[in-house]
Amino acid sequence: MAEVAQVVNLKSLPEFKNEPWQDFSKAEVRRAMADALAKVRGEFGREYSLLVAGEWTKSGRTFESRNPSNPSQVIGVLQKATPELAAKAVEDAHAYFAEWRKVPAAQRAAMLLKAGDIVRKRKFEFIAWQVFEAGKTWPEADADVCEAIDFCEYYAREALRYDAPPAVPQFPGERDELRYTPLGVGVVIPPWNFPLAIMGGTTTSALVAGNTVVLKPASDTPVNAAKFVEVLLEAGFPPRAVNFIPGSGGEIGDLLVEHPKTRFISFTGSKEVGLRIVELAAKTQPGQIWIKRVIAEMGGKDAIIVDSECDLDAAVQGVLVSAFGFQGQKCSACSRAIVDQSLYDEFLEKLKAKTEAIRVGPAEDPENYMGPVINASARKKILDYIEIGKGEGRLVTGGKAIEHETGGYFIEPTIFADVDRGARIFQEEIFGPVLAVTKARDFGHALELANDSEYGLTGSVYTKNRDKIERAKDEFHVGNLYFNRKSTGAMVASHPFGGFNMSGTDSKAGGPDYLLQFLQAKSIGEVIA
Ligand code: NAP
């Protein structure tokens, strides 16, 4: 194990605070960002190995990660895990768990705090990797990196808290206690859209709780994950505690989920893959002696309600950034605006004007508000939905791909009005810059429309009416509900994140219940002699 002799305790740590965002309007911040982009560009094309059973390994099969703003640029070349290596990773993680679980929580937490500190010190560089690999604009990438640091800080504190649970009432004549103990091997399967925050948060929460991890990063953003694994090792996490096995989810996903030594799966991604994992994990395999836990955070079809009694300009702005920030590729993105009939036309007029002022282009250029979508097949899927939308609603603006000299996957921010609740673009997750706008008769109707979804992730309401706020708190069925603000941008600790219904298991990442999912409680009673 690398030297991290230090331990921390909860009382000596400052209270958790969210990592502050950069102010890119400042010349020195822009200069630092430009330097980081240049540095990272100099590392394009580097090869990254697999980390299996504590050894950097090559499989002999590689794949490339490319820049969605400019697909001719190879960000990195990754070794592709074979089924044999994936199985070896799970088996060694199982063997090493016996040692790792005995490392005191205070030491694991110290490692995680150190990891957060390393990312903090190299923040611009991590922002640059996301700009190039995920197509995030500077502020979007900054928010992701800050969230990743927040997860390190927050989960380190949570591991310490669970390590010292409050005393249970003592049964007469006994010494009684409740202890939290880790589970075993966690297979971590994150999406590409928060390449550091979700990948890092799902990996470190499992690790700091004392589990060993097999991380299969998303195939679109494996370099961000490789860089983070390097940070974990630098921070002192033993190489056998975290296996890094990039490769196709379709090819090795089933094996990882079905392996009898896999104890839990922490998945974030689409509903289709999430449900498949739930189903496969439910089937016990020969040699399996536990019921696998599945944490599955999945898609969304998030709505913003614009009520008759609201600040209309604020609502327009909130819908705009929620629908088109990071090209609409957030599970929390607003893809349905449900607008009271009394201000429907005015809302659309204002939103159209603001949307048409959005500049779309390569994410590295800070003048662009929107970058590319993640890859060619995502662009095709989104454009197919736009064609469907043309038959289901009135195209207000957008509706086309944007040809750019770089060949990036750019799409116009697109709005459809007069969309019926039964329409596919009202019901299905598109995961791109496409917004459906629907007219509501009144507030009750707006709530009914918002709840007309199999998903239940985020939702937001713009209203000044206190009674309507209280009613929505009770009736709007989503895991993350906001008032008079955008539907995106959940903050670690203040907005524990996770959805209802087909949006997932409501695990509430960044909240006080989260770590419990990677722990089991042991009740101990001892008769006092
Ligand atoms: P995805 O296609 O489901 O992929 C997610 C992860 O699953 C990737 O690592 C992928 O690997 C892997 N995978 C693919 N097939 C698999 C299989 N058969 N078994 C096991 N793993 C498999 O989703 P995505 O396109 O990356 O992400 C977008 C989706 O994530 C959207 O639906 C979005 O709403 C959702 N999301 C939800 C949350 C939340 O907190 N609720 C947050 C972010 C994103 P490959 O990359 O190799 O295919």
Is 35 part of a structural domain of the chain? no
Alpha-carbon gap, residue 106 to 301, rounded angstroms: 40
What's the per-residue H, E or C state across 24-66?
Answer: CCCHHHHHHHHHHHHHHHCCCCEEECEEECCEEECCCCEEEEE
Catalytic residue among 133, 140, 147, 297: 297
Is 45 part of a structural domain of the chain? no
Q: Report angle CA 200, 46, 152 to the nearest 5 degrees.
A: 15
Does 287 lie in the same domain as 396?
Answer: no
In this structure, what CATH number is given to the domain that contains residue 273? 3.40.605.10
Does 164 lie in the same domain as 269?
Answer: yes
Regarding the beta carbon of 253 and ligand 1, being less than 6 Å apart is answered: yes
For residue 77, report the distance from its CA to the centre of ligand 1, in Å.
21
| Mean pLDDT across the chain | 97
Regarding the beta carbon of 352 and ligand 1, being less than 6 Å apart is answered: no
pLDDT given at position 1: 46
Alpha-carbon gap, residue 282 to 294, rounded angstroms: 9
pLDDT given at position 447: 98
CA torsion, ordered 117, 121, 127, 128, to nearest 10 deg: -140
For residue 332, report the distance from its CA to the centre of ligand 1, in Å.
14
Does 252 lie in the same domain as 150?
Answer: yes
Residue with CA nearest ligand 1 atom 18: 250
Residue with CA nearest ligand 1 atom 6: 191
Alpha-carbon gap, residue 245 to 208, rounded angstroms: 20
- Identity (one letter) of the amino acid at 340? D
Does 345 lie in the same domain as 246?
Answer: no
Alpha-carbon gap, residue 392 to 147, rounded angstroms: 37
CA torsion, ordered 103, 105, 211, 125, to nearest 10 deg: -100
Q: Report angle CA 504, 505, 509 to the nearest 5 degrees.
A: 95
pTM listed for this prediction: 0.97
Does 288 lie in the same domain as 352?
Answer: no
Does 344 lie in the same domain as 258?
Answer: no
429 CA closest ligand 1 atom index = 32
pLDDT digits (tens, 9 = 90+) for 496-505: 999 999 999 9
Q: Quick check: 167 and 179 in contact, CB under 8 A?
A: no
Q: Which domain holds residue 218?
A: 82-120+137-298+507-524
**Which tokens in the block code for residue 419?**
């969309």
Does 306 lie in the same domain as 275?
Answer: no
Which residues is 380 bridged to in the sheet?
A: none
Alpha-carbon gap, residue 120 to 112, rounded angstroms: 12
Does 482 lie in the same domain as 342?
Answer: yes
Is 125 part of a structural domain of the chain? no
CB contact set of 40 (below 8 Å; sequence gap of 6+) = 125, 128, 129, 132
pLDDT given at position 11: 85
Q: Quick check: 145 and 198 in contact, CB under 8 A?
A: no
State the DSSP code for 310: S
378 CA closest ligand 1 atom index = 25
Q: Quick check: 224 and 195 in contact, CB under 8 A?
A: yes
Does 338 lie in the same domain as 292?
Answer: no
Size of the chain in residues? 529
For residue 498, report the distance from its CA to the centre of ligand 1, in Å.
15
For residue 219, report the distance from its CA to the centre of ligand 1, in Å.
10
297 is catalytic: yes
CB contact set of 506 (below 8 Å; sequence gap of 6+) = 479, 498, 499, 500
Regarding the beta carbon of 273 and ligand 1, being less than 6 Å apart is answered: yes
pLDDT range class, residue 7, cuts 50, 70, 90: confident
SS3 401: strand
pLDDT digits (tens, 9 = 90+) for 196-250: 999 999 999 999 999 999 999 999 999 999 999 999 999 999 999 999 999 999 9
**Which tokens in the block code for residue 307?**
């009520």
**Which tokens in the block code for residue 523?**
């009740």
Q: How many domains does the chain have?
A: 2
Is 154 part of a structural domain of the chain? yes
CB contact set of 321 (below 8 Å; sequence gap of 6+) = 486, 488
pLDDT digits (tens, 9 = 90+) for 435-457: 999 999 999 999 999 999 999 99
299 CA closest ligand 1 atom index = 34
Does 318 lie in the same domain as 452?
Answer: yes
Does 517 lie in the same domain as 483?
Answer: no
Catalytic residue among 331, 334, 392, 412: 331
Q: Where are the strands (E) in 385-433, listed by range? A: 394-397, 401-402, 410-411, 414-417
194 CA closest ligand 1 atom index = 43
% of the chain beyond a pLDDT of 90: 98
pLDDT of residue 3 exceeding 60: no
403 is catalytic: no
For residue 23, report the distance from its CA to the centre of ligand 1, in Å.
31
Does 343 lie in the same domain as 327?
Answer: yes
Q: Quick check: 309 and 468 in contact, CB under 8 A?
A: yes
CB contact set of 48 (below 8 Å; sequence gap of 6+) = 76, 77, 78, 79, 222, 223, 226, 246
pLDDT of residue 10 exceeding 90: no
